[in-house]
Amino acid sequence: MSASLAPPPTGDTVASQVPSPKVPWSDVFRTVPANRSVHSLDLDVTEACNLACIYCFKWQKKAVHMDEATAKNAIDWLLEASGDFRGELKVNLMGGEPLLRFDLLQKIVPYGKCRARQLGKNLHFGCTTNCTHLTDELMAFWRRFGMGFHCSIDGIPEVQNANRPFLGGGPSSPAVEKNVPRILAYRPEVMARATISPKSVRALVDSAKYIAGLGFRSMTFKAALNCNWLAEDFEAMRSQYERLGAYYIDAQVAGRPLEIAEFGSGIRSIHSSEARSRFPCGAGRGVMLVDPRGDLWPCHRFGPHQCAGQFCLGKLGGLFNDRLREVFLKYDVLEDAKTDCVHCPAVLSCRSWCYAECVDSTRTLYDPGTEYCQAVRILFEEVIHIHDHLRSRHPEVLARLVKGNGK
Amino acid sequence: MSDSTEVTFDSVLLRVRGKSCLAASVAPPFRAARWPDTELLGQELRLPDFVGASLGERGAQRALLSVLADRVPGAGAFRPRRIGFRPLPGDMARREAYRQSGRSVIFLGRCSREVVLSALEAVTQGLGPSGIVEVSLKRWDPVGDWPTGRERIDDIISYLYQSRHCGCALTLFSDLLEVDPGLWEFIYQRPRVRVAWVARELMECRSMQDFQAQREQSAALGNLERLGEAGLWPHVVLPVCQDNCHILPELVLALIEGTRGASIDVVPAPFLDSVEVPRHATARVDSTAPSVEDYVEALLAICRNPRVPLSLVSPPSWVAARIDSQATMVSSPAGVGAELAVLPNGDVYAGESLAGVNRWHLGNVLDDGADLRWERLDTISEMAGYSLKPARCAGCAWRYRCGGVDTSVLLLEERLGPDAANGGGALREFYCAPRRSLFEELLWASMETTARGQGPAGRERVGLREDGIDFEPVKIAQ
């Protein structure tokens, strides 16, 4: 890890770099949106990271850290902005690498848990981590507060080291292999999230087997669309998905605990009688991000680099942009999205495009771009193939998957 | 026409303030309508020469009733009805100590373990596992008397959770002068425990400079802010007297900010005794009490400050909850029968303010066990009617939203006499005047908010430009 990116000692946090005075509680209260339906908050506790992933969407990697007051204000804000919501509220610790700010987490997690319980609410903390920065003390803390993990890991060492090297260029795979068993011993159901780049797509199946070999029972693969995808890369993706489908079918038939999120949800969507959601995701509606400066964004993928920062929904202590949020609240995929969606065979299972990727690739909130559509169609064709195969030869397995017991 | 006109006829309350006009039903179901300009109202009434003062005339009143019936949903509320309307018992939303879903108990003083457990056993009879028991510890500082206080709190919690399998909300009144370092962790592990502080030290603050000085010097205030900073959501009872009344809005805001959102109960000095010492003997309006007018002005200033969340400050929160409620309220939460009071000797009374009054003595838990004279609580339902007696509240347009004066205030007034030197009538004014003004203020505010939000917002898309985004209206498909 680069020394320059290490979190500064308490008291010398972002407040000393960016003017960010402690927001009075009543100002936090006034920032609350008119429609109090926020139930999940992404908290960028730092923008620093000890890895240099080739597809990272963070517009800058500076040693900008969230200070304690801002983090507490953000938690107070969530508790207010959730209104009468009585389900589980979620704070997802993100970054950068959030575990670099263990000093801050030790303060804000007890604070948030405590304040939520005093207000009769239930607050869960989760963390998206690159699995390179675990300690015994950290694991004990996680156990104590029942916190969750979401592991970013790309696959076999060659892929991991090429896609996700340390800042100095060193391989990150050994650290991941060392730490993953500790996470799985704590929570066996933790999901691995692998990002597919044009460089790594040809090792997709090997990576899936490697991730399963590490002990993960569930995994998800997402294409990094901000990379330069060529036609032959998509062909490679198609052949890899075919092999991955065969591997998935074998595992399901053999009763091995393996869940590949795209396949499982795709099969369930074929059988679902529910109308397709109007929304691609919860960004800007139930989900929001607070960045280290205390700015509010629709999700962790948005930042000051897009459209001169006009997607900023507000600032803790400032006014909330209810007009912009209405756009997310009233979004309608089939009405707003480009017209050829209605002719796409994948329209029923395609529900996971990303607003920020739309903005990045087509400069609109309503068109995810041809790369995204191509990747989704490849995936959908494989889902159809898996579904047909199981229906004809292993209907009992299909029935189990449709019920959602494939995990 | 004067700047402000008030008319009440049949079941309609009418207010003209400047050019704006507000009509609201006085009895449930509560409905309201607003006109930004009396000229518009005149047009709707088809009375070309209409001015606000015309509403004193019966013809204009009839015209207004028919207009309201046309334009307000559920306008049956505005049908002519005699002022003497009384709510049926079934319509009443009451809060009583001994109710189906929960119990309220206050331990007054340092009670022994035996008294605490016997009292809890007695009052939790017939309470189901999903019931909630609200317990307050007063006239004894369990935080200052820590090892004993800790034991007593654990006695209460473990009895209610483990033996009775019901929920428990515990409030500890403390002066917060001596705080054990383990208190924070202790409260964190017991999430339904709250610490309440009676801010007597802030009674002498004449300016915010005095408050800042207190903030630097006062151990209690420091501990309170630490509780808030740790997310433990303390409660503050803030006494108001002549000295601090004119800085009350700033004081409330500073306390909320310093404690990250503590709830604050604003109590005029004459009622302070009800918080800490028996009220029945010595409550009086003394020289430190603010004038009723100043007190009302201070509360209105709090309401008008958008930086103060009303839900955190009582009595505005109490009033705000009733503005939109369709239930007929009966008496205030601190009324007679809202909680049971237990003294250290085991005596149980039907309310904190009634401790020592024979009529409300229910028995002694050490002698009688659970066989207390519960039948005496039945008379509480009589109190509901008592608090809405026409002679007391009939002239008030807000009586059905308010639910009548706190019955304990009425009992006190009755005992002292309206002309008593210590001012029983003034006590009641401290209760009624602020509520009347707050109802008026909050109803206007809610109507203005509604007026701004009228009409469908419509759908918009965002269009992206190099330097930002544009909003484009979307025609919604039929």
Dihedrals phi, psi of A296, to nearest 5 degrees: -105, 135
Contact B309 A324 (CB under 8 A): no
- Taking the C-alpha atoms of residue A196 and residue A155, their distance in angstroms, rounded to an integer, is 9
Question: Is the torsion defined by CA of B259, B265, B268, B270 positive or negative?
Answer: negative
Cβ atoms of A191 and A150 within 8 Å: the answer is: yes
Mean pLDDT to the nearest integer, A302-331: 86
Alpha helix stretches (DSSP H) within B127-218: 146-158, 183-189, 208-217
* B277 touches A: beta carbon within 8 Å: no
CA A150 from centre of chain: 8
What does the pLDDT read at residue A5?
Answer: 39
Q: How far apart are CA A251 and CA A380, in angstroms?
A: 20
Count residue pairs from A and B with Cβ separation < 8 A. 81
Alpha-carbon span A379 to A385, nearest angstrom: 10
Q: How far is A335 from chain B (nearest CA, A)?
A: 8
Structure letter (DSSP) for residue A190: P
CA dist., res. B257 & res. A25, Å (int): 5
The whole-angstrom separation of Cα B62 and Cα B45 is: 9
What is the predicted pLDDT for the residue at B286?
Answer: 52
Binning chain B into helix, strand and coil, the percentages to the nearest 5 are: 45, 20, 35
The answer to whether B475 contacts chain A (CB < 8 Å) is no
Find the helix packing angle between B292-304 and B248-258, rounded to 10°: 50
Q: Mind listing the pLDDT tens digit for each residue in A352-404?
A: 678 988 888 888 888 888 888 899 899 999 999 999 999 999 999 999 998 86
Per the CB < 8 Å rule, is B464 touching A330? Answer: no
Task: Tell me, yes or no, if A117 comes closer than 8 A to chain B by beta carbon.
Answer: yes
Q: What are phi and psi of B248, to 5 degrees?
A: -55, -45
Cβ proximity of B64 and B45 under 8 Å:
yes
| β partners of residue B134 | B104, B169
CB-based contact A349:A269 (threshold 8 Å): yes
Count of CA atoms in the C-beta half-sphere (13 A) of A269: 20
Helix A370-393, helix A231-254: angle, nearest 10? 30
Kindly determine whether residue B464 and residue A335, on different chains, have CB atoms separated by under 8 Å: no
Amino acid B75: pLDDT:
56
Beta bridge partners of B23: B14, B33
- Whether the bond between A215 and the residue before it is cis, its omega within 30 degrees of 0, is no
Q: Exposed (0-12), middle (13-18) or buried (19+): which is B168, by Cβ within 10 Å?
A: buried
Q: Cβ neighbours of residue B216 under 8 Å, at least 6 residues apart? A: none
Distance from CA of A11 to the nearest CA of B (A): 16
Residue of A nearest to B228 (CA): A115
CA distance B202 to B240: 9
Residues of chain B with Cβ-Cβ distance to A323 below 8 Å are: 460, 471
CA B368 vs CA B199, B346, B348, B362: distances in Å? 38, 10, 10, 10
Please name the member of B194, B257, B460 whose beta carbon is closest to the beta carbon of A24.
B257
Per 3-state DSSP, chain A is made up of helix, strand and coil in percentages (nearest 5) of 45, 15, 40
CA–CA distances in Å: residue B382 to residues A210, B255, B376, B378, B448 = 76, 39, 11, 8, 38
Nearest-Cα distance to chain A for B110, in Å, is 26
The Cα B162–Cα B158 span in angstroms is: 5
Residue of A25, A111, A366 with shortest CB distance to B256: A25
Structure tokens at B183: 């208190």
Q: How distant is the Cα of B274 from the closest Cα of chain A, in angstroms?
A: 26
Q: Which of B233, B308, B465 sits opposite A115 (nearest CB)?
A: B233
Give A175→chain B minimum CA distance, Å.
35
What torsion do the CA atoms of A302, A307, A313, A318 make, to the nearest 10 degrees? Answer: 120
A3-297: CATH class: alpha beta
CA dist B123 and B128 (Å) reads: 12
Domain-wise residue ranges, chain A: 3-297
Inter-chain contact A26–B253, Cβ cutoff 8 Å?
yes
Q: How far is CA A171 from the centre of its chain?
A: 23
Handedness of CA A129, A134, A140, A141 (dihedral sign): negative
A323 interfacial to chain B (CB closer than 8 Å): yes
Cis peptide before B315 (omega within 30 of 0): yes
What global pTM score does this model have? 0.82
Contacts of A327 in chain B (CB under 8 A): 460-462, 471
**Residues of B with Cβ-Cβ distance to A119 under 8 angstroms:** 233
Nearest CB among A114, A327, A332 relative to B462 is that of A327
Is A364's CB within 8 Å of B463's CB?
A: yes
CB contact under 8 A, B459 and A118: no
Which tens digits make up the pLDDT trace of A130-148?
Answer: 999 899 999 999 999 999 9
Read off the pLDDT of residues A21-46 as tens digits, 9 standing for 90 and up: 567 787 888 788 888 899 999 999 99
Residue A303, SS3 per DSSP: coil
Q: Which of A308, A359, A365 lies nearest to residue B468, judging by beta carbons?
A: A308
> Which residues in chain A have their CB less than 8 angstroms from residue B477's CB?
335
Q: Percent of chain A having pLDDT more than 90? A: 55
Choosing among B187, B462, B474, which should be mutated to test the A contact, i.e. which has the most A CBs within 10 A? B462
Q: Which residues does chain A have within 8 Å of residue B230's beta carbon, measured at their own beta carbons?
A: 111, 114
Q: Which residues contact residue B333 at a Cβ distance below 8 angstroms, ignoring those fewer than 6 apart?
A: B95, B318
Encoded tokens for A66: 């969230």
Please give, rounded to a whole number of angstroms, the shortest distance from the CA of B114 to a CA of chain A: 29
The angle subtended at Cα B256 by Cα B253 and Cα B259, nearest 5°, is: 145
Question: Within 13 A of A172's CA, how many CA atoms are on the CB side?
Answer: 28
Which of A72, A114, A326 lies nearest to residue B460, judging by beta carbons?
A326
Residue B456: its pLDDT value, please? 41
Beta strand A287-290 with A295-297: parallel, antiparallel or unpaired? antiparallel
Chain A, nearest residue to B471 by Cα? A324
Parallel, antiparallel, or unpaired for β B193-198 and B263-268? unpaired
B466 touching A, CB under 8 A?
yes
| B432 close to B387: Cβ distance less than 8 angstroms | no
**B309 contacts in chain A (CB < 8 Å):** 26, 29
Select from B59, B61, B62, B50 the least CA-distant residue to B14.
B61
Q: Where are the alpha helices (DSSP H) in B142-203?
A: 146-158, 183-189
pLDDT at B333: 42
Whether residue B232 and residue A114 make contact (CB cut-off 8 A), yes or no, is yes
A353-356 long-range CB contacts below 8 Å, 24 or more apart? A353/A280, A353/A281, A354/A280, A354/A281, A354/A283, A354/A301, A355/A280, A355/A281, A355/A283, A355/A284, A355/A298, A355/A299, A355/A301, A355/A302, A355/A328, A356/A57, A356/A283, A356/A298, A356/A299, A356/A301, A356/A302, A356/A306
Please judge whether A336 and B477 are an interchain contact, meaning their C-beta atoms are less than 8 angstroms apart.
Answer: no
**Least Cα separation, residue B355 to chain A (angstroms):** 30
Burial B245-274 (b: 16+ CB within 10 A, else e): bbbbbbbbbbbbbbbbbbbbbbbbbbbbbb
Q: How far is A329 from chain B (nearest CA, A)?
A: 9
Sign of the four-CA dihedral B205, B208, B209, B213 = positive
Q: Of A139, A152, A65, A137, which Cα lies nearest the Cα of A101?
A: A65
Nearest to A198 by CA among A21, A317, A374, A26: A374
Which residue in the set B188, B191, B464 is minimally distant from A359, CB to CB? B464
State how far the Cα of A57 lies from the Cα of A46, in Å rounded to an integer. Answer: 14
Q: What is the mean pLDDT of each run of 10 residues along chain B (478 residues)?
A: 68 81 78 80 80 78 77 58 46 51 86 94 81 90 92 93 86 91 85 90 91 92 90 91 92 92 89 50 56 93 89 89 68 59 92 79 88 73 54 73 72 57 62 90 77 53 80 63
Cα–Cα dist B456/A253, whole Å = 53
CA gap B312, B319 in Å, rounded: 12
Q: Is the peptide bond before B29 cis (omega within 30 degrees of 0)?
A: yes
Chain B residues close to A311, C-beta within 8 Å? 469
Domains of chain B with bracketed CATH? 4-85 (no CATH), 92-377 (3.20.20.70)
Q: Are the Cβ atoms of B462 and A363 closer than 8 angstroms?
A: no
B315 to chain A, minimum CA–CA distance in Å? 18
Interface predicted TM-score (ipTM) of this complex, two decimals = 0.76
**Calpha distance A95→A55 (Å, rounded):** 15
Identify the H or E element spanning B302: helix B292-304
- Count of CB atoms within 10 A of residue A64's CB? 18
Give Cα separations from B461 to A148, A319, A325, A377, B80 (angstroms): 36, 21, 11, 27, 48
**Inter-chain residue contact A26 with B308, CB threshold 8 Å:** yes
Q: Which whole-number Å values give the CA distances from B206 to A13, A239, B258, in the listed order?
A: 37, 79, 19
